[in-house]
Structure 1
Amino acid sequence: MSSVVPLFERPISPTERLYLAMQTLAPPFAIQLVIQGTGSIDERDLSVAVAGASESCPGARLVRRGERWVDSGIAPPVVVAAEHSLSDAPLDDHPMLSRPLDPEHGPTCEVLLLGSARNTLVLRAFHGVMDGRGLHLWAAEVFRLLRGERTLGARDAIADHSLVESLGVDGKPTALLPTARSPFGRARPAPGEPDFLWRRRTVDGISPAVVARIADLITTAVGGKTRIMVPVDLRRHDKDLRSTANLALPLFLDAVPGDGWSRIHARLLRGMVESRELGEMNNGGLQKMPVWMARAILRTGMSVGARTGGNLVSAIVSHTGTVDLDELSCDGFSASEVWGLPVHTGMVPLSIAVLEARGRTELVVSCRNGAGIGPRLERLLDDITGALETQTEGQPAETEPSPPGPTVTSVFGDLVRDAPDALAAIGPDGRLSYGELDARADVVAAELRARGVRRGDVVALLARRTLDAVVGHLGILKAGAAFLALDPKHPDERIIGILADSGVRHCVTERASSERAAFGDTDVLVVDDLPHSGAEKAADVATPDDLVYVTYTSGSTGRPKGVQVEHRGIVNLMRSATDWYRLGPETRYAHYHTQAADMACAALLLPLLSGGAVVLIPDDVNHLVLSEMLEGPTVNTMMVTPSLLEVIVRLELRPEGMRAVSIGGEALHGPLAARARDLLGPECRLLNSYGPAEMSIVCTAQVLDDEPSAAALPVPIGSPAADTTIHLLDRDRAPVPDGEVGELYFGGPQVARGYLNRPEVTAERFVTLAAGERCYRTGDLARRLPGGALEFAGRVDSQVKIRGNRVEPGEVQAAVEQHPLVARAAVVAVRRAERGDNILAAYVVGTAEAGGAELAQQLRAFLAQKVPAYMIPAEIHVVDEIPMTANGKLDSAALSADTAAAGPGTDAGSGPEPEAARRHEHEIAAIWAKVLVVDVSTLRADSDFFALGGDSLASVEMLSQVSRTVIGRAGEAAFVAELDDLVHHLTLGRVCAAAARAQGLGDLA
């Protein structure tokens, strides 16, 4: 005897148990999607398509079996009602829209084909088996089959509670009490009147922040404190999830008249960023009761709400997204409009479903009926449609000039309103609260606007890591512009080149850098010269698709390119970063990065958009700075490269109180990750993060909660940020199987706009895939591991990461070849196995008059005036020729280092105490040999640290060891300060002389 194995089943979730209780209290308790168009749909074709779509989406065939939903295997029926059209009767009295659906025996879903023309389709689902987004998935599958296309399927057997559990969230739910007032007071329908009303309105145009605007008008209608429930689709937390189940949880927005839609919208954004909906999974306890008991309690609640006007919430406002009408069309039928009917629920007096399609906004309202409520509902809808039409006509709101969507400035503004006295920035020159920072930024914004800066402009910012710099960043944003941050430590040629390439007309700076900012006709604004308050509150004019910043990265042609990052990308990053990095009011995020890199944007924006504080580190990284950051009492969050992490581990620092450390910028390998895990301790969240600048800083992360493997393998770069799509493609842009290497393409809201003033490079890197999705082509190779995490597997080109900075060897080569004594050059990346990092090696053919060692020395000084320090090759080899392969490419294997330049000549002025310096030479030379991995016998007083393969991070380790083993605590600060200016001319003799002088100062102390 055989038994039939169910094709598909899943447990009934706690939320769905409530819907089962409501099913007999407010029938039909159904989600309904209406599609109307021109032409007609054949009944037989539709039946076949519905059956096929329900095979690919088995959630449409569910029936209840005890505590589980089980696939009945029976396709939902197609009901043809030629005698009925939606114009025959009011929606709330239409017989076909009130047909019951039976969760016990089925069907729980059905399709109606209405009207003599057969051009109205209604897909219906009992809300216990589907939500609005699930119904859309099923509808799209039906029309794919009607068009003869293959289905995509939605077979994930997951419910809301299991998804929330998988995300590891255990938040505190909102306390709900029956105190929220109805917009219409008591609801007692007259005999013969329907218990509920449906009303529909259509608005031409798409209105930004439509949910907040509607909530504001409902609050006005209530006339007092209002609580609005906004369902949030949980699929945003798992972009690959395809399920038709009920995967929505509420965000609750409290408002009072006068708040305005912008404040309500800011609260909504804040809730989305913090994923507050996940904490509402088990709210009220009704979900755990038997259905009959929950039904009795709900019946009482409905009766009390109708009699008294007191409710758990005043209204539900649900935005089900944007629908492409072409996806709901087929041969012979062209969809012209689509709208959703909200569920009638007696627990809530008013429910509004919002849907956008082809430039129109569809609003359908379900309302608890009663004497006089119909006309009052019509007046409220008049107010709502009037307000939305005003916005879509492009007329600016007179009283609400704030941004119409999620932006960096709106989220920051909400934090200022909520906690103006909270600490926002800690610097060497003092501290700023959120309120103080906001006031000072308003002054900068007002001055910029007075000088002609408008929304969408790009404004340069040249300043050190100071409070003035933070004020400048926020002031630029509050003026509606985007900031282009420059590093004063970069050479003039680099700064001038970027200013010229970007075409900026304004530069915000500090007094110390003001002369360098005065390039051409650039208007220079010195923050130091401005008052700290007194400006009118800056109107928030930015929109989600406006730029928030531009950051320049290396270019393969020798010309750097400016990446344009939009507000929507940073706001979307915050949705994941808040959890990844444990961001919140307690966050103290170290900002020690070069201001010109996107890691600096992370250090500035992540804390300031989460209620935390940015900690400004004024000095360049050395062992004293690292010790203060990691072992001091202030910093508890930071982002480091693997190269710097290696130095930290070697220095044997002992961090205390670190909340989160993100590792990124280079490939991370198991042994270093394991040592870092041991160093930072179990209380610190350790992550491996990945993200090109073109993907709004970070787009994937791997939390290293468990002990990382010490095997010499790459650590996975993890899973994507919210709503970020990943494609691993071959050369033909076809997907590669899991486990195989492919090129990484990313889609989603974090994809940058493109490169500033570089349309040809933008077109090359920002591509549209066959399915129509705009993606960024990274050039990175990766494979998908079992479990779904990504593993970095190299590059498709020569690009390399040097100390976390993206470098194109071609750009460095172009700079080298500008030297008058260089006839030809090649620059390649070399991986140092002993340290696990990358360095640049330059191979140079000199002109007839060039000498080997002298040319290498001159090149270092020459490049220091052209490119940042991390782009100066660690090795410079003077060769007779640069070998090429038969294909005309550089033959790296044939390159010879026989004539490698040693370093500068003997340094006659290495110090005033040559005898004391010589006493330390052997000890310091041994340290050099260990750090550089060279034979100590080859070192001389004129040996150059950088010519021997050292870089700035290796010098941190070297100077730290010299300080601790030779000089001692009393003199190490003087020692480090003296050598700060020798970053391009660090010889053994100079270090020994500086050590002798510092030790002498220590002895005097």
Structure 2
Amino acid sequence: MTSAFPVFTRPVSPTERLYLAMQTLAPPFAIQLLVEGVGAIAELDLAVAVAGAAQACPGARLVRRGDDWVDSGVAPPVHVISDAGLSGDSLDDHPLLTRPLDPVDGPTCEVLLLPGSPNTVVFRAFHGVMDGKGVHLWATEVFRLLRGERPVGAREAVADHTLVERLGGGGKPTVMIPRSRSPLGRTKSVSGEPEFLWRRRTVGSTSPAAVARIAEVITAAVGGRTRIMVPVDLRRHDRDLRSTANLSLPLFLDSVPGDGWQRIHAGLLRGMVESRELAEMNNGGLQRMPTAAARAIIRAGMFLGARTGNNLVSAIVSHTGTTDLGELSCRGFAATRVSGLPVHTGMVPLTIAVMEAGGSTELGVSCRNGAGVEPRLDWLLDRIEAALGATRVVAAPVDPQADRTLTGLFRDHVRSAPEAPAVLGPEGELSYAALDAWSDAIAGELRGRGVRRGDVVAILARRTFAAVAGQIGILKSGAAFLALDPHHPDERIRGIVDEAGVGCVLTEREFAARAGLGAVAAAVLEDIPVRTGDGEGAGTDLAEPGDVAYVTYTSGSTGRPKGVQVEHRGIVNLLRAGAELYRLGPETRFAYYHTQAADMACAALLLPLTSGGAVVLVPGEVNHLTLTEIFEGSTVNTVMVTPSLLEVVVRLGLEPAAMRAVSIGGEALHEPLAAEARALFGPECRVLNSYGPAEMSIVCAAHRIEAVDGSGAAPVPIGRPTAGTTVHVLDAARRPVLAGEIGELYFGGPQVGRGYLNRPDLTAQRFVTLPDGERVYRTGDLGRILPGGELEFSGRVDSQVKIRGNRVEPGEVQSRLAAHPAVARAAVVAVRRAERGDNVLVAYLVASAGESVPEVSTLRDHLSRSLPTYMIPAEFHVVADIPLTSNGKLDSASLGTARADTPTAVLPADDIAEIWACVLRVDASTLDDAADFFELGGDSLAAVEMLSQVSRRVVGPGNDVGFVADLEDLVHRLTLGRVRQAAHRARVPAHR
């Protein structure tokens, strides 16, 4: 059948001659459009549509004949390739995407169909015959035919130079001097690695002036004068023009750091209004040189640009417009993602193709490869994503070696350095070999008692060698450990053991008879003999990466604590990040002073033992002596602290001597304290603001604190997520918020915990699946993404609060308080003390009918039987009623006006009373011997400060050890009289 149209032909333009010269230098030199979706497309249907679209768009069938492109009459081939999905966004060296297209013998265009999840259609065109807009036009014609519609076609035989002549273009081209630096630094080739990298990135929103925003980030990364090339589609001058040819010419944007995107965007608009791109038709003259000569010059330019860092431009940023996903869909197939891969070009260090589709922005990236380029590229894309208003932050990919277990990593260090110290403390030193043998024996004992993989084993012990061996032994048995704090009340311990369904408890002998544990099988640590190599499972790893490593209980709003299950792979993933963040390694000496029941304690235990370092056990309660030993001693060099405890360290005037890394977390950190910390620990110490709910394996984001002004009260960023961790900032309907706006933080990735032990209802509420299928943890924390791409914590969605780094639901305290027979109703709220910068709990209660108002000491004793010290309110107030808002919620603002308290008697003050008055900010004349430190608003950290001052100013040097030991068991009843008596005994040895 004779065609109704003459044979299609058009001249090879000067620009396309340049592309022909570059083809062999940076293969495949193809524009590639990837259409991903759900559903399927039949191979035969696709082949018919591709043939029909090529008839309507003959630019898809071109081959070179001398100085012309000629329609070959042969439709682009369609290849169906199974088991070759384009998984992930790193497509380097993919054989389907790197094979060349032949401009002489053809084909110059082809289509790939990759069945899978998702199904993907790839449109490939040699850049000598099509530009990005041309490929998109051709692809829409294919899908138009797949939908059964008539093609529109694109048969204009125009080239860029002829169109410029028609438009009357000309003018003075930009002077090109190779002085623009790469945003990725100099590149040095790596043997065996691909010469170029491809990346794709999806930003979950669209932004005005996207090119200018990207240019601002690139300029900041270059750090000096920057030139960026922006291809401009010449079709904008003739809206009726339908051609698939290369019809784009560049505009050049010059910028320096500090130029905002608004200024850069204004420059771009000005250039387009003046049609400056038309003046660039013959810039440089390379287009008109013989191919061999042009190729030699280009090769030299590529070499010099890579080695010297001097380039004609720093980057190419091309925006191909907005794509309607419906245009690339058909019956049985719905497009969900459309992205473009730019050509590789060694003349320019970085090329970014921008495309908007479905409310998202797709970035396709090509860059020169070299040593260290890959992490710098990911770093740059993180910042570009943030600049485009991303409400999703994605960290670096997961380490391919991260699929390990904690016990497997521990055994690596046993084998490599068996005599290295694993645990240090008052008992001396425990080597890796000794800890391995001891924990193997415990694992064997547990297996002999019926403990199996997946069980939960509780451990009740102080911070001792035996306790460390017990926790490692539990892990070796394949079970998860549940650490209990002996200082917690029996009622709480019993409730947690019952809640967790624990069948076996490891305990030190002194705690074996603790109330409530008699019904559970107990194994006494001191009674387990250590025989090297003994025990079932010794020397083997019985756990899997997805098994639960430990369970830690946090406060619950209903009065029922909830057990967070954290898997091996979550902590292993944190370890990979921590190796750099906390400088973990054989030199690490990590302070373990936290309550055993907290996830910070798990970090202090597990991170050093899986990185070849040592755990440093700090016995007893935290006081000024233990803090002095931690921060001024010669052993500890790595520590995790809350801002509240850091405040105490600062006020004590300690002078840290040898800190390598300090992680501050558990509460919001503000600039003044961050500035003090930065100065306190010195330039050689790594100081970080760390963030992480227990459900996210301890720490899932961190910010390295460098220079801090400290004059303002702004919060310090919580930084960037750990490897593989994703962060979404969503509104109440779980939709992405706008750039810079506050929303709820949702975290995904390998550190997401398994859920709450035996609480499927609560697990379903907090561990949710987003529309894209990603399982995430809903933190209940508010935050936003800062312009530089870091996260900022902005408070809580609910009433949950951090008290000295411990997560507390005031509702749990309220329910315990209301259980007292003399209390009819109660309300507990968190109050931030501006003068100290920390949070405290304040309780309001209504007495039961016919009951006397309970004494504060009675209420404190009542709560101390079931709650840890940090959960006992600092203040108690009796009120006539609990005020409510119009919608029935607690009216916190009105509670402060309803107090009915009775002042204490006025007695003479003394030195200790003056210290109390200063720390508590009360009148010293109101204090008598019965005055209770905690009733007056004190907490354990304020007590540390008070005791240190009493020790220094009243007891005196040399007597403070006995003074502190005398008070250690009085934490619930710390009265002025008792402190006075202890101070007197310490000063007069005969009275001890």
Q: TM-score under structure 2 normalisation?
A: 0.64
Q: Distance in 2 between matches of 1:143 and 1:560?
A: 59
Equivalent pair of 1:463/1:487 in contact (CA under 8 Å) = yes
Residue 741 to residue 443, structure 1, CA distance change in 2 (3 Å)? same
Partner Cα separation in structure 2 for residue 127 and residue 420 of structure 1:
59
Q: Which amino acid counterpart does residue 874 of structure 1 have in structure 2? A: A
What corresponds to 1:604 in structure 2? 605
CA contact (8 A) 2:670 2:716 kept: yes
| SS at 1:761 equivalent | helix
The number of aligned residues is: 713
Alpha-carbon deviation of 1:753? 1.0
Alpha-carbon contact 2:419-2:433 (below 8 Å) kept: yes
1:530 is aligned to: 528
Deviations 1:606-655 (A, max 9, x none): 11121111111111100000000000000000000011001000000000
Taking the TM superposition and a 5 Å limit, the aligned residue runs for 1:793-804 are 793-804=794-805
Summarize the Cα distance change of 1:230–1:294 in structure 2 as closer, same or farther, 3 Å threshold. closer
Note the C-alpha offset of 1:567: 1.4
Alpha-carbon shift at residue 405 of structure 1 (Å): 4.0
Q: Does 1:943 align with 2:941?
A: no
**Residue in structure 2 matched with residue 861 of structure 1 by the alignment:** 861
CA contact (8 A) 2:589 2:615 kept: yes
Conserved in 2, the CA contact under 8 Å of 1:723 and 1:748? yes
Q: Residue 985 of structure 1 corresponds to which residue in structure 2?
A: 973
CA distance in 1, matches of 2:436, 2:515: 25
Checking the alignment, whether the CA contact within 8 Å between 1:113 and 1:120 is kept in structure 2 is: no
Alignment of 1:904-943 (within 5 A): 922-943=910-931
Cα gap change, 1:493 to 1:238, in 2 (>3 Å): farther
Q: Secondary structure at the match of 2:512?
A: helix
Cα displacement (A) at 1:33 = 14
CA distance in 2, matches of 1:103, 1:950: 79
Counterpart contact for 2:690–2:718, Cα < 8 Å: yes
Change (3 A) 1:233 1:461: farther
Residue correspondence of structure 1 range 884-899 to structure 2 within 5 A:
884-895=884-895, 896=897, 898-899=899-900
C-alpha spacing 1:331/1:452, structure 2 compared with 1 (3 Å): farther
1:972 to 957, 960, 963: 960
Pair 1:42-2:46 in alignment: yes
Name the structure 1 match of 2:697.
696
Asked whether the equivalents of residues 448 and 479 of structure 1 are also in contact (C-alpha less than 8 Å), the reply is yes
Pair 1:126–1:760, CA change in 2 (3 A): same
How far apart are the structure 2 equivalents of 1:83 and 1:746? Answer: 39
Q: Please tell me whether Structure 1 or Structure 2 has the larger radius of gyration of its CA atoms.
A: 2
1:695 Cα deviation after fit: 0.7
Partner secondary structure for residue 988 of structure 2: helix
After superposition, give the CA deviation of every residue in 1:691-715 in whole Å (9 maximum; x if it has no partner): 1111111111110022353311111
In the other structure, the counterpart of 2:590 is: 589
Q: Report matched runs for 1:613-692 at 5 Å.
A: 613-692=614-693
State the distance in 2 between where 1:231 and 1:410 align: 36
**Superposition map of 1:710-859 within 5 A:** 710-848=711-849, 850-852=851-853, 855-859=855-859
Task: Tell me if structure 2 keeps the 8 A contact 1:668–1:688.
Answer: yes
Q: Give 1:723 deviation, angstroms.
A: 1.1
Alignment of 1:144-155 (within 5 A): none
Relative to structure 1, is the Cα distance of residues 546 and 645 closer, same or farther in structure 2, using a 3 angstrom cutoff? Answer: same
One-letter code of the match for 1:946?
Answer: F
Output one character per residue of 1:405-464: Cα deviation in whole Å (capped at 9) or x when no partner. Answer: 422222222222222222211122222222221221111111111111111111111111
- Which residue matches 1:559? 560
CA contact (8 A) 1:448 1:476 kept: yes
- Partner SS state of residue 717, structure 1: coil
- Return the offset for 1:533: 2.7
Partner deviation per Cα, 1:778-831 (whole Å, 9 max, x = no partner): 111112211111111111111110000000011001111122222221111111
Paired position in structure 1 for 2:883: 883
Kept in 2: contact 1:80–1:113 (CA 8 A) = no
Which residue type is aligned with residue 936 of structure 2?
L
**Which amino acid letter does the alignment assign opposite residue 842 of structure 1?**
A
Once residues 125 and 109 of structure 1 are traced to their aligned partners in structure 2, the CA distance between those partners, rounded to angstroms, is: 8
1:216 is aligned to none
Alignment match, 1:707: 708
Tell me the equivalent position of 1:962: 950
Please state how far the C-alpha of 1:478 moved relative to its aligned partner.
0.8
User: Residues 975 and 998 of structure 1 are in contact (CA less than 8 Å); yes or no, is this contact kept in structure 2?
Assistant: yes
Gap regions ≥5 residues in structure 2: 1-12, 55-72, 84-94, 128-138, 148-180, 207-297, 304-327, 336-400
- What are the ranges of 5 or more consecutive residues in structure 1 without an aligned counterpart? 10-16, 51-76, 88-95, 129-139, 149-160, 177-227, 243-289, 296-327, 336-402, 908-917
The amino acid across from 2:882 in the alignment is I
Q: Which amino acid aligns with 1:700?
A: A
User: C-alpha distance in 1, partners of 2:852/2:966?
Assistant: 30
Determine if contact 2:79/2:113 at 8 Å carries over to the other structure: yes
Aligned partners of 2:52 and 2:142 also within 8 Å: no
Partner secondary structure for residue 497 of structure 1: helix
Task: Report the CA distance shift for 1:996/1:742 in structure 2 as closer, same or farther (over 3 A).
Answer: same
Which digits, 9 at most, give the CA deviation of each residue in 1:255-294, with x for residues without a partner? xxxxxxxxxxxxxxxxxxxxxxxxxxxxxxxxxxx97999
CA contact (8 A) 2:27 2:98 kept: no
Question: How far off its partner does 1:934 sit?
Answer: 1.5
Q: Which amino acid aligns with 2:482?
A: L
The 3-state SS of whatever aligns with 1:496 is: helix
CA contact (8 A) 2:906 2:927 kept: no
RMSD of aligned alpha carbons: 4.8
- Residues 145, 961 of structure 1: CA spacing in aligned structure 2 closer, same or farther, 3 A cutoff? farther
Amino acid at match of 1:477: L
Confirm or deny: 8 A CA contact 2:102 2:108 kept in the other structure: no
Seen in structure 2, the aligned counterparts of structure 1 residues 774 and 851 have a Cα distance that, compared at 3 Å, is same
Contact 1:21 1:294 in 2 (8 A): no
On the 8 A contact 2:915/2:946 being kept in 1, the answer is: yes
CA contact (8 A) 1:444 1:530 kept: yes
Q: TM-score, normalised by structure 1?
A: 0.63
Decide whether aligned partners of structure 1 residues 1000 and 740 sit closer, same or farther in structure 2, where only a CA change above 3 A counts: same
For 1:560 and 1:430, the matched residues in 2 are separated by 36
Q: What is the CA distance between 1:516 and its match in structure 2?
A: 2.2
- Structure 2 CA distance, aligned partners of 1:721 and 1:485? 25
Secondary structure of the corresponding residue to residue 583 of structure 1: coil
CA–CA separation in structure 2 for the residues paired with 1:499 and 1:231: 58
Distance 1:698 1:240, change over 3 A: farther
Partner Cα distance (1:639, 1:661) in 2: 6
Structure 1 CA distance, aligned partners of 2:476 and 2:144?
Answer: 50
Q: Which amino acid aligns with 1:843?
A: Y
Name the aligned partner's letter for residue 875 of structure 1. E
Question: 2:862 is paired with a residue of what secondary structure?
Answer: helix
Q: Aligned partners of 2:964 and 2:144: how far apart in 1?
A: 71
1:552 to partner: Cα distance: 0.6
Aligned-pair CA distance for 1:993:
2.2
C-alpha separation in 2, matches of 1:78 and 1:615: 74
Counterpart Cα distance in 1 of 2:560 and 2:145: 51
Distance (Å, rounded) in 1 between the aligned partners of 2:485 and 2:758? 21
Deviation string, structure 1 residues 947-983 (Cα, Å, up to 9, x no partner): 1100010000011011111111111111111111221
Q: Which secondary structure state, in structure 1, belongs to the residue aligned with residue 728 of structure 2? A: strand
- Aligned 8 A contact 2:402 2:572 in 1: no
Contact 2:113 2:122 in 1 (8 A): no
Output one character per residue of 1:504-549: Cα deviation in whole Å (capped at 9) or x when no partner: 1111121122222872542212221122233152421322211111
User: Identity across aligned pairs (percent)?
Assistant: 56
Corresponding residue SS for 1:425:
strand
Question: 1:78–1:112: 8 Å Cα contact kept in structure 2?
Answer: no
